[in-house]
Amino acid sequence: MALTSKIVQDLTFGYTLMVQERVDCGWEPTLLTFQFNHLNGSPATVDIEMRKTVEKVFSQILTRCFKNPRNVPIHKMPLWICTPDYPVFKYDKDNFRDIVNNDGRHIHVIAVMPPDTGMTQTLDDHFTNEQQRYSGYAPRPLWCLDSQPITHDLSFVVDYGTKGIKTPRVGADAMFVLPRTHSEMEAYRADKAERKFLDDLNF
């Protein structure tokens, strides 16, 4: 969906406000980048698989934050603002994998974590220390899960993390926000594919 510059500006401002309000209350913001191995199927199928992978990782983080996420109000759960994107072309051999796999499509996440959860380390430390549990070679969907704490220029980072909405190739319709409703998460937890995914991660 093509958006006017005014709509894009309003969306970016709204998401920045959502993040800033939580940061002001002691929540910790992190920029995540999900990069994927080659995924088979049509572009629509690949998009769905990427989204499901992010949702599965989010579900696992929930279980680390709370003993029983079912009993936690949605507004007290971590907030993840997720936006697909494509890399800017660079004359750099190190960028070859990013360009070739899935046409370079990846997902940025502005993740804001609440204080006083069961997590014993920051989100960026967790993903750095546990990288091998989440990513690696195929058949795992994730090639790399990069995490960077947001320590300054919050509005700039949110704008960067959501820049995919500015391009017709992605657009606002491809964005998604986690958590979903409790009923949606209940149905998702029952998904056999999720259990297999977590088993593969050896949790």
Q: How far apart are CA 58 and CA 33, in angstroms?
A: 13
102 in Cβ contact with 46 (< 8 Å): yes
**Counted domains in the chain:** 1
Region 161-173: mean pLDDT is 88
What would the mean pLDDT of 95-115 be, rounded to a whole number?
A: 83
pLDDT of residue 99: 54
Range of the domain at 162: 5-200
Distance CA 151, CA 157 (A): 10
Sign of the C-alpha dihedral computed for residues 118, 123, 125 and 131 taken in this order: positive
| The pLDDT of residue 187 | 45
Question: What is the C-alpha to C-alpha distance for residues 152 and 144, in angstroms, rounded to an integer?
Answer: 24
- What is the Cα–Cα distance from 29 to 111, expressed in whole angstroms? 6
Whether the per-residue pLDDT at 94 is higher than 60: the answer is no
3-state SS track over the chain:
CCCCHHHHHHHHHHHHHHHHHHHCCCCEEEEEEEEECCCCCCHHHHHHHHHHHHHHHHHHHHHHHCCCHHHCCHHHCCEEEEEEECCCCCCCHHHHHHHHHHHHCEEEEEEEECCCCCCCCCHHHHHHHCHHHHCCCCCCCEEEEEEEECCCCHHHHHHHHCHHHHCCCCCHHHCEEECCCHHHHHHHHCCHHHHHHHHHCCC
Is the pLDDT at 96 greater than 70? The verdict is: no
Rounded CA separation 155/159 (Å):
6
Residue 97's pLDDT band (cuts 50, 70, 90) = low
| Position 113 pLDDT exceeds 60 | yes
Q: What is the mean pLDDT of the chain?
A: 85
Contact between 78 and 65 under an 8 Å Cβ cutoff? The reply is yes
